[in-house]
Amino acid sequence: MTGQNAIYSSNTPKLEIAIHSIAFDGVTNYILCDKKYKAYVRAAAMTVPAKVVEVYLDLRRLAEEQVRGFTEPTSDKLLPDLHPLEQHVFTLVLDLNETLIYSDWKRDRGWRTFKRPGVDAFLEHLAQFYEIVVYSDQLNMYVDPVAERLDPKHCIRYRLSRGATRYIDGKHYRDLSMLNRDPAKILYISGHALESSLQPENCVPVKAWQGEADDTALLDLIPFLEYVAKHRPADIRTVLASYQGRDIAKEFVERSKEHQRRMQEQKQQGRLWRR
């Protein structure tokens, strides 16, 4: 019976299964007069599609879980809780490639990794003020050995790699909301900040470094970052929004100069009034 064959086929779509099930009902009405056998055949006919659907749903759930494993961070909290005495501390999240280092491949020597100029001083100085975290889209088998050699003094508290990113449309994004930190106290520095983070409001873009020996981008950022750490703004996102579209390091220097100029003017005015 063609209807029976269609019902037992595991590749048959749900709608087709239902149609053939109705057709099978008609056949049993004509062939099987005994109600007991008719009920038995009907139950058998309906049991297989039900099991097929159950298997399909189980496989679907398994597939979805596997996909989530590739597309979503490995944990809801990527970092452990801050110590109660450090609740005021800001978190400085650093990208790795073309931000702190540059990896270059040549046929005659293979891969070589170079440290960005000023990276040692940058890490050592800012570790006094920040919780420093490296957050890369590379695999941990790459991130861990590179970070070990980059940071022998252990200024970097935590390392996050590809398993901690969110995979969307073929690209790995840093999701700062998963860090288990106050988003008002997170700064993310990267040579590709706005393209690699789901929270652009927390981004501090720097020029992507590709081996230039005269680069000073990291050192140039130190005054701004130290000022933030010492003055602890209520929400760093508001501060960063005021620098949007500008070179933060240069703009901070200009604003500092302008502030100093105004302070000098106020002092001069005070002296004039006292005469």
| pLDDT tens digit sequence for 184-236 | 999 999 999 999 999 999 999 999 999 999 999 999 999 999 999 999 999 99
Domain boundary among 41, 71, 101: 71
Are 93 and 216 in the same domain? yes
Are 39 and 88 in the same domain? no
SS3 label, residue 275? coil
Residues of the chain with pLDDT under 50: 1-33, 37, 41, 67, 70
Domain that holds residue 241: 84-264
Determine the pLDDT at residue 3: 44
Are 134 and 242 in the same domain? yes
Are 173 and 113 in the same domain? yes
pTM score, two decimals?
Answer: 0.72
Determine the pLDDT at residue 268: 78
Q: How far is Cα 154 from Cα 158, in angstroms, rounded to an integer?
A: 9
Q: How far is Cα 201 from Cα 182, in angstroms, rounded to an integer?
A: 13
Angle subtended at Cα 176 by Cα 164 and Cα 163, rounded to the nearest 5 degrees: 5
Q: How far is Cα 29 from Cα 26, in angstroms, rounded to an integer?
A: 5
Are 153 and 23 in the same domain? no
Q: Is residue 176 part of a domain?
A: yes
Q: Is residue 101 part of a domain?
A: yes
Are 64 and 89 in the same domain? no
Q: How far is Cα 275 from Cα 268, in angstroms, rounded to an integer?
A: 11
Domain boundary among 71, 98, 131: 71
Are 93 and 189 in the same domain? yes
Are 104 and 213 in the same domain? yes
Q: Is residue 76 part of a domain?
A: no
Q: What is the CATH number of the domain that holds 92?
A: 3.40.50.1000
Are 49 and 167 in the same domain? no
Determine the pLDDT at residue 51: 63
Q: Is residue 197 part of a domain?
A: yes
Are 41 and 103 in the same domain? no
Q: How many domains does the chain have?
A: 2
Are 121 and 188 in the same domain? yes
Q: How far is Cα 179 from Cα 222, in angstroms, rounded to an integer?
A: 23
Query: On the CB side of 23, how many CA atoms lie within 13 Å of its CA?
Result: 13
Determine the pLDDT at residue 169: 93
